[in-house]
């Protein structure tokens, strides 16, 4: 069979499964893509290229609404969208979306109904449910939480940059991951939203608390506590600089350990709560959540690698960052019919919310304690 005939055969197989291919002449599906992982109701607009054996598109997922899309080893949940651009290894949960000219690289995880507008670059970026990023943004190596719904969500304004590279030392480093909100409280979808104003940026590693508002047009160089409105004026600097200058290991090392602890807590949440709730009838949901767990594992490995390199250059060994095996305090069951995760979280009693927060904090604290031992 010729290459053209093989492509046509794959497209025909997808159409037979209920996939809507707007123009087969402008749609490419690579030979390694498994058609059984592309669900009925998927919409592929002209200019769509699917590559990679990991590629999975859940019911109603849509690619290319606003322009061509190259999607390599991406996993999209029900009704998730990439409107245009390039994505490799990204995971989008139910209803998440990325606008045109997106650039989503490995380690990208957008939870339910999280979204970006056009021309947004993400790598090792985690946006919890409902979080929103405007246009013309680079937000790599960061986690965003906060908010309760699509009408009440944390947001990063257009033209914002997370500066995730520090030029000190021989090659510089990326021990710079920033935490906007947190995992133990953020995953329960009850916290005040955070706003990072546009036409600005943040020098990692930073921490921004729930309820904070960071005014537009500034570069954040200090942490922001909860429930604060902040505009930080720039400080003039003009001084000699030595090419071999190194900053001290602290406080950056400890900040990165805390970030890893947060990711460990989020992974525990996925494994013991989110995945544990999925019944056998919802294999599509399980596939997407499994991919999200793999992404978190990848993000943890990346942060540990960056931390180890940072400490080595400063004459210190890497700490042991083992997460404690702490069981979820709730009785989790895979009930039929499956209740959507957001609906389930919203239905939790306040005492169960508190128990989950304490559990996730204990996972984070265990990672930090291991590093200090």
Distance CA 348, CA 226 (A): 24
Do residues 292 and 109 lie in contact, with contact meaning Cβ atoms separated by under 8 Å? yes
* Mean pLDDT, residues 332-351: 96
Q: What is the pLDDT of residues 344-353, one digit of tens each?
A: 999 999 999 9
What does the pLDDT read at residue 224? 98
Residue 1 pLDDT: 53
> CA gyration radius for the chain?
21
CB neighbourhood size of 317 (10 A)? 8
Of 153-157, 159-163, 226-230, 331-335, least confident by mean pLDDT is: 331-335
% residues pLDDT > 90 (the chain): 94
pLDDT at 3: 86
Of the pLDDT bands very low, low, confident and very high (cuts 50, 70, 90), residue 243 is: confident
d(CA 201, CA 162): 6
pLDDT digits (tens, 9 = 90+) for 191-217: 999 999 999 999 999 999 999 999 999
Both tokens assigned to 41 = 């109701």
d(C-alpha 155, C-alpha 131), whole Å: 6
Stretch among 3-7, 60-64, 116-120, 155-159 having the lowest mean pLDDT: 3-7
Look over the chain and give the mean of its residue pLDDT values, rounded to a whole number. 96
CA atoms within 13 A on the CB side of 292: 28
User: 98-101 — which CB contacts under 8 Å span 24+ positions?
Assistant: 99/66, 99/135, 100/66, 100/67, 101/67
CA gap 291, 296 in Å, rounded: 9
Q: What is the mean pLDDT of residues 46-59?
A: 98
Alpha helices in 125-251 (DSSP H): 183-186
pLDDT at 373 over 80: no
Place 320 in a pLDDT band, splitting at 50, 70 and 90.
confident
DSSP H helical segments within the chain, as ranges? 3-16, 183-186, 252-269, 283-313, 341-346, 350-372
Is the pLDDT confidence value at 159 over 90?
Answer: yes
DSSP H or E run through 144:
strand 142-144
Query: Strand pairing of 152-153 and 147-149?
Result: antiparallel
Neighbours of 146 (CB within 10 A): 29
- Residue 159: partners with Cβ closer than 8 Å, 6 or more residues away: 134, 135, 136, 137, 198, 199, 200
- The per-residue pLDDT for range 91-150, each reduced to its tens digit, is 999 999 999 999 999 999 999 999 999 999 999 999 999 999 999 999 999 999 999 999
Q: Which residue has the tokens 């995730």?
A: 164
**pLDDT at 2 (0 to 100):** 60
Q: Residue 326 CB: number of other CB atoms within 10 A?
A: 15
Cβ atoms of 220 and 179 within 8 Å: the answer is: no
For residues 287-299, average pLDDT = 98
What mean pLDDT is predicted for residues 179-185? 98
Q: At what angle do helices 350-372 and 252-269 cross, to 10 degrees?
A: 140
Q: Locate 32 and state its tokens.
A: 């390694």
- Kind plus residue range of the DSSP H or E element containing 37: none
Say which residue the tokens 């246009």 belong to.
Answer: 135
Q: Return the percentage of the chain with pLDDT > 70, whole number.
A: 99
Number of neighbouring beta carbons within 10 Å of residue 280: 9
Nearest-angstrom CA–CA distance, 331 and 272: 10
Residue 78: both structure tokens together: 């029900």
246-276 per-position pLDDT tens digit: 999 999 999 999 999 999 999 999 999 999 9
């Amino acid at each position: 069979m010729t290459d053209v005939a093989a492509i046509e055969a794959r497209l025909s197989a997808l159409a037979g499964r209920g996939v809507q291919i707007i123009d087969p002449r402008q749609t490419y599906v690579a030979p390694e893509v498994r058609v059984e992982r592309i669900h009925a109701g998927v919409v592929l607009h002209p200019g769509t290229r699917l590559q990679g054996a990991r590629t999975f598109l859940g019911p109603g997922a849509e690619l290319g609404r606003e322009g061509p899309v190259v999607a390599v080893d991406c996993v999209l949940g029900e009704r998730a969208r990439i409107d245009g651009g390039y994505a490799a290894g990204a995971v989008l949960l139910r209803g998440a979306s990325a606008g045109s000219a997106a650039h989503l690289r490995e380690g990208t995880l957008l939870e339910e109904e999280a979204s970006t507008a056009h021309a947004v670059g993400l790598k090792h970026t985690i946006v919890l449910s409902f979080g929103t990023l405007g246009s013309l943004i680079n937000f790599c190596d960061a986690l965003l939480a906060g908010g309760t719904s699509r009408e009440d969500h944390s947001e990063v304004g257009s033209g914002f940059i997370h500066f995730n590279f520090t030029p000190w030392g021989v090659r510089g480093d990326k021990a710079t991951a920033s935490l906007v909100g947190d995992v133990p409280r953020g995953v329960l979808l009850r916290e005040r939203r955070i706003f990072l104003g546009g036409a600005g940026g943040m020098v990692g590693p930073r921490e921004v608390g729930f309820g904070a508002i960071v005014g537009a047009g500034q570069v954040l160089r200090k942490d922001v506590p909860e429930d604060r409105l902040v505009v930080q004026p720039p400080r003039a600097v003009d001084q000699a600089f030595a090419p071999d200058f190194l900053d001290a290991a602290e406080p950056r090392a400890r900040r990165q350990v805390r970030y890893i602890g947060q990711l460990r807590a989020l992974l525990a949440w996925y494994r013991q709560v989110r995945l544990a709730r999925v019944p056998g009838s919802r294999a599509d949901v399980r596939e997407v959540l499994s991919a999200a767990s793999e992404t978190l594992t990848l993000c943890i490995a990346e942060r540990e690698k960056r931390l180890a390199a940072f400490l080595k250059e400063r004459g210190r060994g890497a700490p042991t960052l083992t997460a404690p095996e702490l069981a979820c305090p709730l009785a989790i069951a895979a009930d039929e019919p499956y209740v959507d995760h957001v609906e389930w979280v919203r239905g939790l009693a306040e005492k169960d919310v508190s128990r989950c927060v304490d559990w996730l904090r204990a996972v984070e604290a265990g990672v930090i304690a291991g590093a200090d031992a």
